[in-house]
Amino acid sequence: MNLILIGFMGSGKSTIGKLLAKQLNCEFVDTDVLIEKKMKIPIKKIFHLYGEYFFRRLERHILINTNPKNPFVLATGGGMPCFKNNIDIMKKKGTVVYLKIPKKHLFKTDNKNRPLFNKAQILLNKRKNCYAKADFTIENDKIKKTLKNIKKLMR
């Protein structure tokens, strides 16, 4: 089973994705990492130099063209499912799990390096309906509990 993790910035998509892939003995793919490798610069700099629309087009290209041969866990950028019909593409590739971030974790200081952090509450409100289209929603409050809940979904 392929799993695609969506959610707001800092919701744990990459952290949970890596751990889950290791436990399930499958490939882990992080779209942000693929974009940074392709462009050879950090995402924050991509936003600064080329703008959000350019970045979203890069994300879409990566989503469409990433097709691992073996089962995988895919961690996406926070806005990726909400651009054009990306959520529909994701659903064709696997089971989409929305990692819902508890409000108490939303404004952690480590999120301040993310390009859209200053607009966090506005963005979260705009993206709620998109995230709600996921096949499953799991609140990511504790890593072990989240991993356990995702594995339950797979049974």
Annotated binding site: 10-15, 32, 56, 78, 114, 127
Which residues belong to the annotated binding site for Mg(2+)?
A: 14
State how far the Cα of 72 lies from the Cα of 104, in Å rounded to an integer: 30
Which residues belong to the annotated binding site for ATP?
A: 10-15, 114
Q: Which of 13, 20, 1, 14 is closest to 149 using CA atoms? A: 20
State how far the Cα of 103 lies from the Cα of 88, in Å rounded to an integer: 27
Which residues belong to the annotated binding site for substrate?
A: 32, 56, 78, 127
Q: Phi and psi for 97 in degrees, rounded to 5?
A: -115, 120
- Sorted by sequence, the CB contacts under 8 Å of residue 58 that are 6+ apart come out as 35, 38, 39, 46
